Structure 1
């Protein structure tokens, strides 16, 4: 056989083995594993994620045919889903077997005993495919669904924080490359900022615990050497480091952000960048698909990505993942596990990320290394920027281990936004915020358990670069 064709044939064979055919050789099959559960119906409640759920919808019938398990899918947007999900879980209805896992609510679900730990499934050779290798998942995404050694969900999509930029704009100003530090963000933004039509830099500013300002502001908190709590487990958001971080974050938006940027979310920002009106944009990595969509973007092929820049004392990224969990009250846990396992399998991850309409935010390392994935998403330095940023992910980037984090995070966002829009200076806002947080946590009984919890789980420690 011609050496060239032999190499191509070998590459195809290896890819097939990696993406779903090796289970046959290993003596495990979906048909055999699901035999005891044929005829079972499972109910799934999740979000209509545009690039991670929508592309998989047509494939679910394959799972049903292969396993004999009927899957009823219900989709709700994030806020409505959260409300309904907590009502169902709190009432112990058992109406849903598989539910969306918002990693910011993991601690709440764990302490309420609403989510079923999945660890025992991993070692069950009858239920779990040999291809389900936990080490093949991006580690930080798994960390985000882990509490005290137990895993309560399996990630199906994820993201990091990276910086998008317009290289031509930088080149025109004689700037060699993208920023690698917070200081360089400011220096470059000052040179390219040309208001009101062109802003030098953009990042989220509107209050919010996950979707908005507290998501990106935390990189500055850690980057300047701050932390949420001190060594005794007491709130430390009035520390000099936290005050300076907030001041610097606000100044970037005030000086170099777009008009009205003090109340911008990701939507306004990625729209501006796609229109070519924003020079640098720090946010979730998954927006690259928008920038390469000719129907939505005027910067197709004209942008690049770089890893999250470093602060003076630390570099960290807002790693985030969406996951699927099994409700503790489910009566069909084994069938539910088979579905989650299939949904997050290499084969489904591969197809959902490479077909039309699919997205890049997959969780399987082996799929990220396939030629097809690289061919679709490897331009603009995006894969390198995302993978490099994920190295700096930390599960306590936001303290979602706090059962009341949604309220705490939203309140943090409110105070930070007050600084951004100039209603308060950073010292006043952070002092008031820390006072509120101490009183709130005392009322909720956090001092009784949080200090030991932080020490036992090695959390909220500022790890210098």
Structure 2
């Protein structure tokens, strides 16, 4: 069904404050690809605002993440230009940059005919997130949503059993056994104490395990791109991570738990705590979505003996270098990531903009720790070298992920990491980063 391009009920004033001609590409037809989660569905109902503001017609295709990535890669690699604007995360940014698939957005960002710098206020978008999307001096995408590791917990259960929120990974191991014993004693047999990411995949178990390794003083790669995640520090971290996700206090098949299973269990009231991406909240922020919607809070991700580390993620908007509608594509990107739009989305998105976390919508969630934990990461998190968008990440990350999974299922830690390091070194030697 066609959407109207104008409506007397649409207030365009927040965007018309920008000192640019929003209608300079009026009449253009824009094709936008989006994922079916992470704030993209919340943006779709606002598209009539953009169309009325600009006179640009938008086709907005949402697909599940796997299908979206396939569609995006086929289009970008072929140069067909089917999608003018695409969502992208740092995992695949290196390949896109090395292949020349995305435009450098520093051009339109700094063009006063296209962008009102004061109104757009790019500095309000987390510097750490922006840095993840810069390669060889090119700004390849504008962050839209954010995610970072946090410790989420049922505040009612922690209060009932007089438990302190764990501040370290080691404390989680002790906490989950104690909490599970209390849950079982109360007859809550289908409720589990703790879970975190374990499923195989670059960007799956790696995203949390790497934070743990770094918190114990280890690293994945050294400054020369050599794999070093078989160090004593990394071995110790994997010992602790394995103990967190196995044994007493963990759900069945926790050795292969994915983010969607965790979120589902937590939302159903069957999981008492988890280390999870911070954008989980909009799946449980109302009584219609979850029976525990008002019984949870968040703490900053646990620390290790060396430091407190977390991995940042953003879904960002990039412009297809094969697009024939570059001006229209930038106007959409600017509009979608602007303060005015992000503020209107409220808790429909986990924002990349720092100011949005102080908005009334987030204050009203009743989970003040979510704001503290997320903004701490947005201001302080530093990425692992393996997670800075290098082209080898999909292959090297998978090799590391497979090793982590083997350890979760009982493989010897040092031997398994030694073998994985050799595989990753081989991948890095052949890859474009060293060349």
Query: In structure 2, what is the equivalent of residue 385 of structure 1?
Result: 373
Spell out, residue by residue over 1:206-243, the C-alpha distance to the aligned partner (whole angstroms, 9 max, x if none). 10111x21111111110111111234431112211112
1:373 maps to 2:365: no
SS of 2:315's equivalent in the other structure is strand
C-alpha displacement at 1:187, in angstroms?
Answer: 2.5
Residue 233 (1) aligns with residue 225 (2): yes
3-state SS, counterpart of residue 179 of structure 1: coil
The equivalent position to 1:34 in structure 2, one of 23, 30, 46, is: 23
In structure 2, the residue matched to 1:251 is 243
Matched, 1:68 2:60: no
Contact 1:33–1:126 (Cα < 8 Å) also in 2: no
SS at match of 1:131: helix
Could you tell me whether the CA contact under 8 Å between 1:20 and 1:346 is conserved in 2? no
Note the C-alpha offset of 1:137. Answer: 0.7
Distance 1:290 1:74 in 2: 21
* SS at structure 2 position matched to 1:125: coil
Indicate yes or no: 2:124 matched with 1:136.
Answer: yes
Partner of 1:362: 351
C-alpha distance 445-368 of structure 1, shift in aligned 2 (>3 A): closer
Does residue 305 (structure 1) correspond to residue 313 (structure 2)? The answer is no
Q: Which residue of 2 aligns with 1:454?
A: none
Question: SS at 2:88's partner residue?
Answer: strand
Match of 2:342 in 1: 349
Is 1:114 the counterpart of 2:101? The answer is yes
Which stretch shows the higher mean deviation, 334-343 or 386-395? Answer: 386-395
Which has the higher mean CA deviation after the structures are superposed, 151-160 or 292-301? 292-301
User: 2:32 is matched with which residue?
Assistant: 44
Instruction: Tell me the residue number matched to 1:8.
Output: none
- Counterpart in 1 of 2:45? 58
| Deviations, residues 53-111 of structure 1 (Å, cap 9, x unaligned) | 22221221221222122222222222122222222222212222111112211111111
Q: 2:209 — aligned with what?
A: 217
Matched, 1:435 2:422: yes
Tell me if 1:295 matches 2:288: yes
Residue 391 of structure 2 corresponds to: 403
The normalised TM-score by structure 1 is 0.84
Alpha-carbon spacing, 1:66–1:274, altered in 2? closer, same or farther (3 Å)? closer
Query: How far apart in 2 are the matches of 1:414 and 1:336?
Result: 38
Summarize deviations over 1:258-312 as a string: whole Å, max 9, x none. 2211111112212222333323211111112333332342323222211111111
CA apart distance, 1:135: 0.6
Q: Which residue of 1 aligns with 2:87?
A: 100
Contact 2:32-2:59 within 8 A present in 1 as well: yes
Contact 2:242 2:408 in 1 (8 A): yes
Measured against aligned partners, the alpha-carbon deviations of 1:187-206 in whole angstroms (never above 9, x if no partner) come to 32232123664433210111
Q: Which position in structure 1 is the counterpart of 2:331?
A: 338
Q: Is residue 224–residue 312 contact of structure 1 (8 Å, CA) maintained in 2? A: yes
3-state DSSP class of the match of 2:307?
coil
Q: Which residue does the alignment assign to 2:68?
A: 81
Equivalent of 1:145, from 133, 154, 175? 133
Distance 1:260 1:95 in 2: 41
After superposition, the Cα gap between the structure-2 partners of 1:45 and 1:232, relative to the gap in structure 1 and judged at 3 Å, is closer
C-alpha separation in 1, matches of 2:56 and 2:179: 57
Give the Å deviation of 1:169. Answer: 2.9
Structure 1 stretches of 5 or more lacking a match?
1-18, 450-465
SS in 2 for 1:402: coil
Cα distance change, pair 289–224 in 1 and its aligned pair in 2 (3 A): same
- Where 1:44 maps in the other structure, the secondary structure is strand
1:427-450 CA distance string (max 9 Å, x none): 12101111111223233365x44x
Conserved in 2, the CA contact under 8 Å of 1:303 and 1:380? Answer: no
Say if 1:291 and 1:297, in contact at 8 Å, map to a contact too.
Answer: yes
Q: Closer, same or farther in 2 for the Cα pair 1:203/1:308, shift >3 Å?
A: same
Q: Which residue of 2 aligns with 1:157?
A: 145
Contact 1:160 1:389 (C-alpha < 8 Å) held by counterparts: yes
Normalization by structure 2: what TM-score? 0.89
- Partners in 2 of 1:232 and 1:351 — Cα distance? 44
